[in-house]
Amino acid sequence: MAEFGYDIDYAKKLLENDSLVAIPTETVYGLAANATSSIAVTKIFKTKERPSFDPLIIHTYSLDRLNDYVTSIPYKATLLTKRFWPGALTLLLPKKSNIPDIVTSGLDTVAVRVPNHPLTLALLKSLSFPLAAPSANPFGYISPTLAQHVNNQLGDKIEYILDGGACEVGIESTIIGFENALPTVHRLGGVSVEDIESIIGEVDVKPHSSSNPVAPGMLQNHYAPKKKLIIGNIDKLLQHHDNVGIISFQKQYNIQHQIQLSKKGDLDEAAQTLFGAMRQLDNEDISLIISEYVPNIGLGRAINDRLKRAAIKQ
Ligand code: TXA
Ligand code: MG
């Protein structure tokens, strides 16, 4: 099992030696390595059993560092960074050559964000390089929102987990690119489309591009529990299935294995609890998880996207 703690100096030493460290962010925990070291980044792909065609996000501590890693920043991207960084928004921008090809899977763009977590920001400030960090879960499984989730799945493969408590946002960052006339949201996430559009106007939303090699992490079957999950009208589904666990938005059901994402119907709270709920039911003695879509506004769109992907079995 990995060691847990708050020791930024220890995390820094490990990272400077090309080792991996799990780091907290406001979205989900990341599995971090020196983004400028191909040796270190290779370890991320190995540890997660992630295919090399799926590029990584790099993390830095300030908007001022962005020019170190990218060759140009469109005006709309600057507006977004000013409003949402540090925060759950990742930009795809043309990369500089100091970012090795392994990070971007050979693409010309690099994904960058400034995460909003005090421990990780302090760690990033202490380092002379950015951190490449995918979510700290085995490829395809649900992203971790607690240090313990990381330990359960990757604890025997990594030395240290920087423990920053429960992730406040709870779903991954929104990914936006500027390659077309309209900026394109490639992954729905912790910053809502409405909030983005309030800053830069209309965007294109193309999150379901499973056949699109530009965003291979958008494979349809992703963020998935091991148990089968079906989505629909929970009352109706209950009539046809036994031994189930329920993930409902607000409503309480009179069965043993059930989790309400937000009793008060708050979508931000539902985002925070979603992945933990899937994990919990995945480990309970049930044969099926049933769930329902939440209102498709604000973070509800990202929640519904994750539910849909979790429900697809290959
Ligand atoms: O919230 C987050 O974004 C978390 C935390 C740790 O920062 N990270 C995360 O990373 O979710 P990961 O690796 O699980 O997802 C990164 C996604 C992948 O779907 C990948 O395909 C996409 O970003 N991506 C990375 N670089 C890209 C690029 N140059 N072009 C298109 N998609 C890219
Ligand atoms: Mg991931």
The C-alpha atoms of residue 137 and residue 146 are separated, in whole angstroms, by: 11
Residues 168 and 81 sit within 8 Å (Cβ to Cβ)? no
pTM: 0.96
Length of the chain: 314
Look at residues 269, 35, 309, 79 and name the one whose alpha carbon lies nearest to residue 176.
Answer: 79
Residues 176 and 74 sit within 8 Å (Cβ to Cβ)? no
> End-to-end distance of the chain based on CA atoms, in angstroms?
31
H or E stretch at 114: none
- In the structure, which protein residues have their CB atom closer than 6 angstroms to any atom of ligand 1? 25, 27-28, 30, 54-57, 90, 92, 104, 107, 109-111, 115, 133-135, 172-173, 175, 186-187, 214-218
Amino acid at 258: Q
Q: Domains of the chain by range and CATH?
A: 3-171 (3.90.870.10), 229-311 (3.40.50.11030)
Which ligand 1 atom is the nearest neighbour of the CA of 59? Answer: 7
pLDDT the model gives residue 210: 45
Look at residues 202, 185, 191 and name the one whose alpha carbon lies nearest to residue 92.
Answer: 185
Q: What are phi and psi of 45, to 5 degrees?
A: -60, -40
pLDDT the model gives residue 1: 87
The C-alpha atoms of residue 82 and residue 61 are separated, in whole angstroms, by: 13
Sign of CA dihedral 10, 99, 101, 30: positive
Rg (Cα) of the chain, in Å, rounded?
A: 19
The C-alpha atoms of residue 164 and residue 167 are separated, in whole angstroms, by: 8
* Of 57, 112, 188, best ligand 1 pocket probe by most atoms within 8 Å of the beta carbon: 57
The C-alpha atoms of residue 115 and residue 30 are separated, in whole angstroms, by: 10
- Residue 171, both tokens: 């779903």
- Closest ligand to C-alpha of residue 94 is 1
- Mean pLDDT across the chain, nearest whole number? 94
Structure-token match 């529990």, residue found:
225
Half-sphere exposure of 26 (CA within 13 A, CB side): 22
- Residue 54, both tokens: 């799926």
Nearest CA to ligand 1 atom 21: 217
- Interval 288-307: pLDDT, tens: 999 999 999 999 999 999 99
pLDDT the model gives residue 312: 84
Indicate the SS3 state at residue 223: coil
The residues of the chain scoring below 70 in pLDDT are: 208-221, 313-314
